[in-house]
Amino acid sequence: MTQLPVPPSVPATPGGPVGSEPARTGGRGTAFGLLPAVYRERDAQPDGGAGFLRELVGLVEDELALVHDDIDQLYEDLFVETCAAWVLPYLGDLVAVTPGAPLDRGVVLTRGAVADAIPLRRRKGTASALADLAHDLTGWPARAVEVFEHLAVTRSVRLPERPQLTAGRKRGRTADLRSALEAEQALRRGSTPEVRRIGSGRGRYGVRNVAVLVWRDVRLPRTWVDAAAVDDRRFRFSPLGVDGPLATTPRTGVGTAGGGRLTRRAVAAEPGVFLGTDVLVRPAGAVDPVAVGDVVVCDLGDAAAGGWSNVARLPATAVGIDPERGRLAFGSAQPAPPRVTFTTTAPSDVGGSELADPPDLDAPRVTTVGRAGTGAAATSVAGGLAASGGVGVVEVEDSGTYDGDLTVAVPPRTLLAVTSARGAHPLVRLASGWVLDAGEGSVVVLDGLTIGGGPVVVRGRPDRVEISRCTLVPGYRLTADAEAVPPVGPSLVLAVDSDWQTEVTVRECVTGPLHVPADGNTLTVTDSVVDAVGRDGVPAGTAPPGARVVPVVRSSTPLGALPLPTGPPRLAVRLGGDAPIVVALPGPPTDAATAAADLDAALTGTGARAVVARGRVVVVGDGRPVAVETTPGEDLAAVLGLVGPGSTARAVLGEHADVPAAAGGGTVTVTTSSGDRRVTVAAGAVDATGLAGLLEAGLDVVADLAGTAVVALGDRLLVLPTSPQALTVTVTADDRATAHALGLVSPRPAVAADAAGTPSAALTLDRCTVLGQVTAESLTVIDSIVTGPLRAERRQVGCVRHSWVAPGSATPARDHCRSEGPETPPPRFVSRRYATPGYGRLRRAGATALVRGASDGYEMGAHARLGQTQRDDNLRRGIAESLRFGLEAGVLDAD
């Protein structure tokens, strides 16, 4: 029997959070005013304050107001539209709706699931009912597709279909290359049937399959932001200057139409649906946005000499928009960037959005900042800070871009908060940094801002620094492809006096590296993404921070002279779950070196590489599992020893090595199953190949590491041990510089005291995703994902619970943690570049340890509060109860 929740002691307001205090319908003073005037006059105080009688009546009136509100709430609890959240399971029990996995704030049922239960049962088994049910159970926009409509059908020549008899009926057919609505969907037309089940997540196309497409990403509106200028005619919608698709809210229903991302064909076909509502452009100095008739939807892709296509063809009064790239161009030069309104997508609202409410701060005064400059409002953040005197709340009223460096002094024992107003999320674009000189005992609060261009530096003697719902742009500045522009540095630097202790809190933020020194300070990060970015001069998307363990396929034994293979010299390479890639060599190889060179050339453009290491051919993938397969009638893979026992291994792939810095030699610490081993690297390297040879020679001297192969992949080192388990290079105070120069550890940790990796303040991570390594004085980590090594100086205090811990970590006691192994691959994300779709969102396929490894049995990481795993469970359970006999349903991501 399902256990229903216990009602809270204080009823909730309709539509409000569980347990919130009801609104008072009777105000104080109403009953006192009904008393005779003689008693009110006798009770009056000389100073005008409330007397004893007035206070007594007020207390009684407050209690009566509680009873009155409770009676009103009991009436509202009779209806599903107005009842409190804790009542929903009880109403659901009346219509046999079983509570599922708990969602946010302990809610086990959505209002729609209960309200629509009976109507959905009447339509049980129809595709439209499945779509509505999916939306009610998850809150995601959803569409249901009967897959047989997308299968290729051979038309009968003997019995041709008559249009008058088949009008309105959908039949499978071949692909329609002109359809703008079908090209972007998760399903394509014209596919042949599959045997694999759609419920397993591997198959899609079957006659009896029903696909439920869901859009998981959150739609984040951007209202009248400043477009980023390329020149006086070309602009990007994103104020950060990043190319990215515009989006709309998907429509729940049947079929594949109504997708979330806007396409050029879809907008051009129905300009009145999207332009003027989802997309608005207002030129500088104009009052009204550009009329729909003056907008040209076109391809604004890159052209020769840094230009864009079709810009020269625009009429002087027209505006060209490319919704797939997030670009716009004017037919004539503009005096300033236009202001635009659009919608973008993100895995969650971590990092802030216009949907968030401003914090409730008890501050003496509020200083407003707005681009319009109406009334007494300042027109810049610097002007608002100057007007406030460093005290109170500085509230930015719009989502514009505010340029310039900022320096502000906060008086002792005061509060300074810089926040965004409701419906706003401004960009503060710094030239070099934002310095806050905090007086003794002061509090600094930043909320609802995007800060780019430089770090936030806090100096002096503050008690607390609170940063919530902000984005401190990882990498400061971004290219059009969302790559970090060098130089790259920390997003937050705490530089307080050495004899002062400060509490730093980061909540619901996206940030770059955090530099908070120990010295008694504390750092608490909650529901946030912390990104170490990349090394200076290396794009952030080129390689994840620090060395990573990658699966490889190698020859099971060293190769000598090779026999002639049977059949043509071909083999197949499979990366992850992709289809095999068949590659052909120019001729039969004679030895390992020739085979590796020919195979590497054949793999160009696939993401895989082939090298030779100590007489073995080694195939390295792109971070995903890699496998080599034989092709029918050919045995090249077997001749090279790339199939069968002993052919799989795990290697360490470093970042780009700094050869000049490593030329002087040094030592590194390598961690094996037997403990730490010190390895000496001789001096004299002139290139990456020579550096690999010197490191390999140093490894041969150590007994546990003899035979380890080191090869150069461009300017990155690949370390391949003799044992199946990968080695891990760790950092100590003596060999940090050498390890950084070899590229085997990240020179820019995600959390540390400085760029050199000195341990940071006492650190608490709760439901965070950290892309990089962490070094702290002490650690408490809960429900978090840390992709790089996690190291604590004091391991006798703190704990790591229900989190992902990378190899080579040195942590305090662990409880139910997961680490990389044969059955638990490392975390894979849709994107690791900030400002791209899917940034920081886990790829759920094969990630059971991550999506069900948290303390509540569900997802780890910064986006766990969205409850995606819980919603998936509820959706699959609900769909299974609503299918017709013989059908099978599967849930597909449409983002």
Give the model confidence (pLDDT) of 499-542 as tens digits. Answer: 999 999 999 999 999 999 998 999 999 999 999 986 433 333 33
Q: What is the 3-state secondary structure (H, E, C) of 132-179?
A: HHHHHHHCCCEEEEEHHHHECCCCCCCCCCCHHHHCCCCCCCCCCCCC
- In this predicted structure, what is the pLDDT of residue 510? 96
d(CA 449, CA 472): 8
Helix (H, G, I), strand (E, B) or coil at 553: strand
Would the pLDDT of 890 be above 70?
yes
Q: Give the model's pLDDT for residue 173.
A: 55
Instruction: Give the per-residue pLDDT at 567.
Output: 79
Q: What would the DSSP string read from start to end of 777-845?
A: SSEEEES-EE-S-EEES--SSEEEES-EE-TT-B-S-EES-EE-BTTBPPP-BSB-STTSTTBTPBP-T
Query: In sequence order, which ranges of 290-396 are alpha helices (DSSP H)?
Result: 381-388
Q: What is the mean pLDDT of the chain?
A: 83
Alpha-carbon torsion, ordered 356, 357, 360, 366, to 10 deg: 110
Contact (Cβ atoms closer than 8 angstroms) between residue 175 and residue 189: yes
Please tell me the predicted confidence (pLDDT) of residue 496: 94
Q: What pLDDT is attached to residue 339?
A: 94
Query: Span 11-16, mean pLDDT?
Result: 38
Is 404 part of a structural domain of the chain?
no
Residue 611 has pLDDT above 70, yes or no: yes
Say whether pLDDT at 439 is over 90. yes
Q: What CA–CA distance (Å, rounded) separates 334 from 234?
A: 9
Instruction: Give yes or no: residues 230 and 329 share one domain.
Output: yes
Are 192 and 281 in a shared domain? no
pLDDT in tens, 844-867: 877 888 989 999 899 999 999 888
Phi (first) and psi of residue 66, to 5 degrees? -60, -45
CA 868 to CA 322: how far, in whole Å? 32
Is the domain of 178 the same as that of 209?
A: yes
Q: Residue 499 CB: number of other CB atoms within 10 A?
A: 8
> Positive or negative CA dihedral for 324, 327, 332, 337?
positive
| Per-position DSSP letters for 514-539, written without gaps between them | EE-B-TT-EEEEES-EEE----TTS-
Q: Which of 320, 346, 372 is the last residue of a domain?
A: 346
Q: pLDDT at residue 822 above 90?
A: no
Which SS3 state, helix, strand or coil, does residue 467 take? strand
Beta strands in 283-426 (DSSP E): 295-297, 319-322, 327-330, 339-346, 366-369, 392-396, 401-403, 406-410, 415-420
pLDDT higher than threshold 70 for residue 717: yes
699 within domain boundaries: yes
Please name the residue ranges forming H helices in 537-658.
Answer: 592-602, 636-639
pLDDT at 28 over 50: no
23-37, 596-610, 816-830, range with greatest mean pLDDT: 596-610
Structure tokens at 520: 């008694």
Same domain, 226 and 336: yes
Question: In this structure, are 111 and 203 located in the same domain?
Answer: yes
Using a 10 angstrom Cβ sphere, with 0-12 exposed, 13-18 middle and 19 or more buried, the burial of residue 792 is buried
**In this model, does residue 386 exceed pLDDT 60?**
yes
Do residue 241 and residue 333 come from a single domain? yes
State the pLDDT at residue 579: 79
Closest CA to 344 of 240, 194, 420, 461: 240
Amino acid at 237: F
Q: Which of 589, 618, 653 is the last residue of a domain?
A: 653
Local structure of residue 595 (DSSP, 8 states): H
Block residue for tokens 């291994």: 649
Whether residue 183 sits in one domain with residue 144: yes
- Residue 777: its pLDDT value, please? 93
Residue 87 neighbours by CB under 8 Å, 6+ apart: 7, 77
Looking up tokens 């090594």, which residue turns up? 789
- Amino acid at position 43, single letter: D
pLDDT band at 20 (very low <50, low <70, confident <90, very high): very low
User: CA–CA separation, 781 vs 772, rounded Å?
Assistant: 15
Query: How much is the average pLDDT of 694-722?
Result: 86
Residue that finishes a domain, picked among 716, 746, 776:
746
CA separation for the pair 212, 220 (Å, rounded): 23
pLDDT tens-digit profile of 346-369?
A: 999 999 888 777 787 777 678 888
Supply the pLDDT for residue 14: 36
Strand order in the sheet with 228-229: 228-229, 234-236, 327-330, 319-322, 295-297
Does residue 871 register a pLDDT over 60? yes
Residue 137 located in a structural domain: yes
Does residue 388 sit within a domain? no
Q: What is the pLDDT of residue 540?
A: 35
Q: Are residues 144 and 195 in the same domain?
A: yes
Rounded to whole angstroms, the Cα distance separating 756 from 104 reads 39
pLDDT tens across 287-320, in order?
899 999 999 999 999 887 778 999 999 999 999 9
487 prior amide bond cis, ω within 30: yes
Give yes or no for residue 735 having a pLDDT over 80: no
Instruction: Quote the distance between the C-alpha of residue 193 and its chain's center.
Output: 34
In a domain, 471, yes or no: no
Assess whether pLDDT exceeds 50 at residue 56: yes
pLDDT in tens, 650-702: 888 887 787 888 888 888 888 766 677 888 888 888 888 889 899 989 888 88
Give 446 or 146, the one with higher predicted confidence. 446
Whether 462 maps to a domain, the answer reads no
- Written as one string, the DSSP assignment of 637-654 is HHHTT-SSTT-EEEEEEE
Place of tokens 């390329």: 230
- DSSP helix/strand/coil, 403: strand
pLDDT at 531: 94
Q: What tokens were used for 808?
A: 């080579």
CA dist., res. 354 & res. 427, Å (int): 12
75 with 125, same domain: the answer is no
C-beta of residue 789 within 8 angstroms of C-beta of residue 549:
no
Burial class, 881, CB count within 10 angstroms (exposed 0-12 / middle 13-18 / buried 19+): exposed
527 within 8 A of 768, measured Cβ to Cβ: yes
User: Are residue 741 and residue 642 in the same domain, yes or no?
Assistant: no
Give the 3-state DSSP-derived string for 359-375, with helices as H, strands as E and coil as C: CCCCCCCEEEECCCCCC
> Which amino acid is located at 437 in the chain?
D
Coil/strand/helix, residue 857: coil
Q: What is the rounded distance in angstroms from the CA atom of residue 72 to the CA atom of residue 23?
A: 11
- Neighbouring CB atoms inside 10 A of 184's CB total 18
Q: What is the pLDDT of residues 141-171, one digit of tens each?
A: 888 888 887 777 777 777 776 655 454 445 5
CATH of the domain at 580: 3.30.70
Q: Are the C-beta atoms of 330 and 233 separated by less than 8 Å? A: yes
| Strands of the sheet with 648-656, listed across from one edge | 609-613, 616-620, 548-554, 648-656, 716-720, 709-713
Q: Quick check: 442 and 463 in contact, CB under 8 A?
A: yes
For residues 596 and 811, what is the distance between their CA atoms, to the nearest angstrom? 40
Residue whose structure tokens are 């590296």 = 513
Residue ranges making up the domain that contains 211? 89-154+173-215
Q: In 10 A of CB 171, how many CB atoms?
A: 11
Q: For residue 104, what pLDDT band results from cuts at 50, 70 and 90?
A: low
By percentage, how much of the chain surpasses pLDDT 90? 32
Q: Rounded to an integer, what distance in angstroms lies between the CA atom of residue 39 and that of residue 778?
A: 65
Q: What is the predicted pLDDT for the residue at 175?
A: 55
Pairwise pLDDT comparison (729 vs 477), residue with the higher score: 477
Task: Please report whether residue 372 resides in a domain.
Answer: no
Half-sphere exposure of 550 (CA within 13 A, CB side): 29
Categorize the per-residue pLDDT at 741 as very low, low, confident or very high, splitting at 50, 70 and 90: confident
Question: Hey, is 221 helix, strand or coil?
Answer: strand
Our measurement of the distance from residue 487's CA atom to the centroid of its chain's CA atoms, rounded to an integer in Å, reads: 23
Cα–Cα distance for residue pair 83/100, rounded to 1 Å: 19
Residue 344 is given by DSSP the state E
Taking residue 441's Cβ as centre, other Cβ atoms within 10 Å add up to 14
Number of structural domains (the chain) is 5
pLDDT at position 249 over 80? no
Within this chain, do residues 184 and 296 fall inside the same structural domain, yes or no? Answer: no
Point out the least confidently predicted range of 33-37, 220-224, 479-483.
Answer: 33-37
Contact 788, 532 (CB under 8 A): yes
- Which tens digit of pLDDT belongs to each residue from 164-187? 545 444 555 555 555 544 434 556
Q: For residue 451, tell me if it sits in a domain.
A: no
Residue 681 and residue 632 share a domain? no
**In this predicted structure, what is the pLDDT of residue 177?**
54
Give the residue with greater pLDDT, 114 vs 607.
114
In contact, 876 and 134? CB cutoff 8 Å: no
**Number of C-beta neighbours around residue 707 at 10 A:** 12
Reported as a single tens digit per residue, the pLDDT across 560-585 is 888 877 778 888 898 876 778 888 89
Per the CB < 8 A criterion, the answer to whether 176 and 195 are in contact is no
